Structure 1
Amino acid sequence: MKVLLIKVSALGDIIHTLPVAAYLKSCPQIREIHWLLEEQFSPLLVNQPLIDKIQLINTKKWRRQGIKTAIKGIISTISRLRREKYDLVLDLQGNSKSGMFTRFSGAPLRYGFDADEVREWPNILATNRHIGLGKTVTHIIDKNLALTTSAFPGSPPPLLQGPLQADSHYLNQVEKKLSALRKEKGPLIIFHYGTTWETKLWSIESWIELARSLWETRTIPPLLTWGNEEELDAVKKIASACPHTIVWPRGDLVELMALLKIADLVVGGDTGPIHIAAALGTSTISYYLATDHRRNGPRGEKHTCFQSTMNCSPCLLRTCQQDERCRQTILPENILEAIHTLLKKQHM
Structure 2
Amino acid sequence: MSLSTSSDNPNLKSSSLDLSQAESLCLLRLSAIGDVCHAVAMVQAIQRRYPQLKITWILGKVEYQLLKHLEGVEFVIFDKSQGWRSYFNLKRSLKGRKFDVLLHMQIALRATIASLAISAKTRIGFDRFRAKEGQWLVTNHHIEPQATPHVLEGFMGFAKAVGVTDLTPSWNIPVPVIDTEFAETLIPTGTPVMVICAAASKAERNWLPERYAAVADHAVAKGYRVILCGGPTPLERELAENIQATAQSELENQVGKTSLLQLLAILKQASVVLAPDTGPAHMAVTQGTPVIGLYAHSNPGRTGPYTCLDSVVSVYDKVISEQKQGDIPWGTRAKGGHLMELIAVDSVVAQLDRLLEQP
Alpha-carbon distance in 2 for matches of 1:176, 1:297: 30
| Residues 160, 167 of structure 2: 8 Å contact kept | no
> Please, which of 109, 124, 136 is the counterpart of residue 136 of structure 2?
124
**1:339–1:167 CA distance, 2 compared to 1 (3 A):** farther
8 Å CA contact 2:102–2:120 kept in 1: the answer is yes
* Counterpart code for 1:26: R
Identity in percent: 19
Q: Following TM superposition, by how much is the alpha carbon of 1:198 offset from its aligned partner in structure 2, in angstroms?
A: 2.7
Provide the residue aligned with 2:104 in structure 1.
91
Q: 2:174 aligns with which of 150, 159, 165?
A: 165
Whichever residue aligns with residue 196 of structure 2, its letter is: F
In the alignment, which residue of structure 2 is the partner of 1:67?
A: none
Matched, 1:223 2:227: yes
> Is there any run of 5+ residues in structure 1 with no aligned partner, and where?
64-69, 180-184
Question: Which residue is 1:262 aligned to?
Answer: 269
Q: Which residue does 2:280 correspond to in 1?
A: 273
Q: What TM-score does the superposition give when structure 1 sets the normalisation length?
A: 0.85
- What residue identity is the alignment partner of 2:318? M
User: Out of 299, 313, 316, which is 2:333 matched to?
Assistant: 316
Kindly tell me: are residues 305 and 342 of structure 1, through their superposed partners in 2, closer, same or farther at Cα, counting changes over 3 Å? Answer: same
Contact 2:90 2:117 in 1 (8 A): no
Greater alpha carbon shift after TM alignment, 22-31 vs 33-42? 22-31
Structure 1 residues 165 and 282, CA, compared in 2 at 3 Å: closer, same or farther? farther
CA distance in 2, matches of 1:303, 1:34: 35
What is the alpha-carbon distance in structure 2 between the residues aligned to residue 5 and residue 178 of structure 1? Answer: 35
- The count of aligned residue pairs is 323
Instruction: Confirm or deny that 1:174 pairs with 2:195.
Output: no
Are positions 1:307 and 2:314 aligned together? yes
Shift of 1:27: 2.3
Aligned equivalents of 2:129 and 2:52: distance in 1? 29
Once the 2 structures are TM-superposed, how far is the Cα of residue 46 of structure 1 from its aligned partner?
A: 1.3
Per-residue displacement from partner, 1:149-186 (whole Å, max 9, x unpaired)?
A: 12x12313421x5343332221102223447xxxxx84
Q: Say which of 45, 51, 54 aligns to 1:32.
A: 54
The residue type equivalent to 1:5 in the other structure is L
Comparing 297-306 and 331-340, the one that deviates more: 297-306
Q: Is 1:204 equivalent to 2:181 in the alignment?
A: no
| Letter matched to residue 39 of structure 1 | K
Q: Which residue identity does 2:224 align to in structure 1?
A: I
Q: TM-score, normalised by structure 2?
A: 0.83
1:239 aligns with 2:244: yes
Match 1:156 to one of 163, 166, 180: 166
What CA RMSD, in Å, does the superposition of the two structures yield over aligned residues?
A: 2.2
Q: Which residue of 2 aligns with 1:21?
A: 43
Asked if the contact 2:37–2:283 (Cα under 8 Å) also holds between the matched residues in 1, the reply is yes
Query: Which residue does 1:147 correspond to in 2?
Result: 158
CA shift for structure 1 position 310: 2.6
Partner of 1:41: 63
Q: Work out the CA distance in 2 between the residues paired with 1:213 and 1:264.
A: 15
Q: In 2 relative to 1, CA 269–140 (structure 1 residues): closer, same or farther, beyond 3 Å?
A: same
Instruction: Give, in whole Å, the separation in 1 of the partners of 2:139 and 2:291.
Output: 36
Mapped partners of 1:305, 1:264: distance in 2:
16
Question: Does residue 284 of structure 1 match 2:287?
Answer: no
| Partner Cα distance (2:302, 2:141) in 1 | 24
Match status 1:58 vs 2:60: no
Quick check: 1:111–1:131 contact (8 Å CA) kept in 2?
yes
Paired letter, 2:67? L
Counterpart CA distance in 1 for 2:310 and 2:261 is 23
> 8 Å contact 2:205–2:297 — kept in the other structure?
yes
Structure 2 spans left out of the alignment, 5+ residues:
1-22, 322-330
Q: Using the alignment, how far apart are the partners of 1:257 and 1:342 within structure 2? A: 21
Q: Quick one: distance in 1 between partners of 2:132 and 2:271?
A: 35
Name the SS of the counterpart of 2:313 in structure 1: strand
C-alpha displacement of 1:195 = 0.6
